[in-house]
C-alpha cells in the first residue's frame, strides 16, 4: 500500500468527475459515500460494489469469497468512523469514542495476509480473501495513520464549502486543496477576480 498509489476518481452528483488522492487507502475509502447529505455520493450500493472497490489498486483485494450484505453494512459503519475520526483529527478535536470503537472492532478481525508469488517478486493476498479482512486492513491503516508521524498532517480541504479530508504526505507538507483542478483553481480564479476588481 504505497502512498503514491492512492487516489480515486470521484463523481459529483451534479455532473463531472475529478481525481482525488486522499493520501491513504483508508481515507480514499472514507470518500465512497455516506449518510444524510453525502448519500448522493454513494458508490457502495450493493455487496458487489464493495467487492469491486476493494479489488482496485492499490489494495487489489480481489475477494475469493462473495461479499455479504452484512459486510457491506460493516463497511459503511467503518467508512463513517474513518470519516468522523479524520475530521476530528483535522480539527484538532478529540476523536469520537464511537468512531474509535468501530475502527478498533474492524481492526480486531484477521487482516489480509500478504503472499509472495513463487515465480517473481510480486505480492498478492493469500486466499481465501474476504471483505472482512480487507476492512480490517483498512482499519489498521487508519490506526497507524492516527497514531503515527503523519497524524498532524490530516487536513480538511482549505475551501470553505468542501468537506474532503486527506493526509498530506508530501515532503514540504503544504498541500491545501482536495484537488487543484477542483478547489485549488476555483480559489485562484476568485483571488484573480478580487485583484482585478481592486486594481485601478
Residues 126-165 that bind Zn ion (CB under 5 A): 157, 159, 162, 164
Q: What gap in Å lies between CA 70 and CA 80, rounded to an integer? A: 16
Residues 169-198 that bind Zn ion (CB under 5 A): 178, 183
The distance of closest approach from Cβ of residue 43 to Zn ion in the complex, given in angstroms and rounded to an integer, is 18
- Of the pair 45, 188, the CB lying nearest Zn ion is at 188
The distance of closest approach from Cβ of residue 125 to Zn ion in the complex, given in angstroms and rounded to an integer, is 33
The distance of closest approach from Cβ of residue 142 to Zn ion in the complex, given in angstroms and rounded to an integer, is 21
Q: What gap in Å lies between CA 180 and CA 183, rounded to an integer? A: 6
- Of the pair 86, 129, the CB lying nearest Zn ion is at 86
The distance of closest approach from Cβ of residue 158 to Zn ion in the complex, given in angstroms and rounded to an integer, is 7
How many residues belong to the chain?
200
Rounded to 10 degrees, the C-alpha dihedral 170/43/75/158 comes to 30
C-alpha cell at 138: 483498512
- Of the pair 145, 183, the CB lying nearest Zn ion is at 183
Cβ pair 29, 145 in contact under 8 A: no
Q: Dihedrals φ, ψ of 18, to 5°?
A: -150, 160
- Of the pair 125, 177, the CB lying nearest Zn ion is at 177
- Of the pair 74, 164, the CB lying nearest Zn ion is at 164
| Count of residues that interact with Zn ion, criterion CB under 5 A | 6
Cβ pair 115, 125 in contact under 8 A: yes
Q: What gap in Å lies between CA 27 and CA 56, rounded to an integer? A: 15
Q: Dihedrals φ, ψ of 11, to 5°?
A: -105, 130
The distance of closest approach from Cβ of residue 139 to Zn ion in the complex, given in angstroms and rounded to an integer, is 25
Residue 60 near Zn ion by CB under 5 A: no
- Chain positions contacting Zn ion, by CB under 5 A: 157, 159, 162, 164, 178, 183
Amino acid at each position: 500500500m504505497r502512498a503514491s498509489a492512492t487516489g480515486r476518481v470521484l463523481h459529483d452528483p451534479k455532473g463531472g468527475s475529478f481525481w482525488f488522492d486522499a493520501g491513504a487507502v483508508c481515507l480514499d475509502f472514507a470518500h465512497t459515500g455516506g449518510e444524510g447529505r453525502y448519500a448522493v455520493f454513494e458508490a457502495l450500493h450493493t455487496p458487489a460494489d464493495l467487492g469491486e472497490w476493494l479489488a482496485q489498486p492499490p489494495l487489489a483485494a480481489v475477494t475469493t469469497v462473495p461479499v455479504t450484505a452484512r459486510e457491506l453494512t460493516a463497511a459503511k459503519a467503518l467508512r463513517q468512523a474513518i470519516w468522523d475520526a479524520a475530521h476530528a483529527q483535522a480539527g484538532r478535536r478529540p476523536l469520537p469514542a464511537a468512531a474509535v470503537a468501530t475502527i478498533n472492532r474492524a481492526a480486531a478481525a484477521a487482516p489480509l495476509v500478504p503472499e509472495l508469488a513463487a515465480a517473481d517478486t510480486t505480492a498478492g493476498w493469500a486466499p481465501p480473501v474476504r471483505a472482512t479482512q480487507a476492512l480490517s486492513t483498512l482499519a489498521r491503516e487508519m490506526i497507524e495513520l492516527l497514531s503515527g508521524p503523519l497524524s498532524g498532517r490530516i487536513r480538511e480541504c482549505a475551501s470553505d464549502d468542501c468537506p474532503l479530508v486527506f493526509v498530506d504526505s508530501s515532503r514540504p507538507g503544504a498541500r491545501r486543496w482536495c484537488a487543484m483542478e477542483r478547489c485549488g483553481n476555483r480559489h485562484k480564479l476568485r483571488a484573480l477576480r478580487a485583484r482585478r476588481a481592486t486594481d485601478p
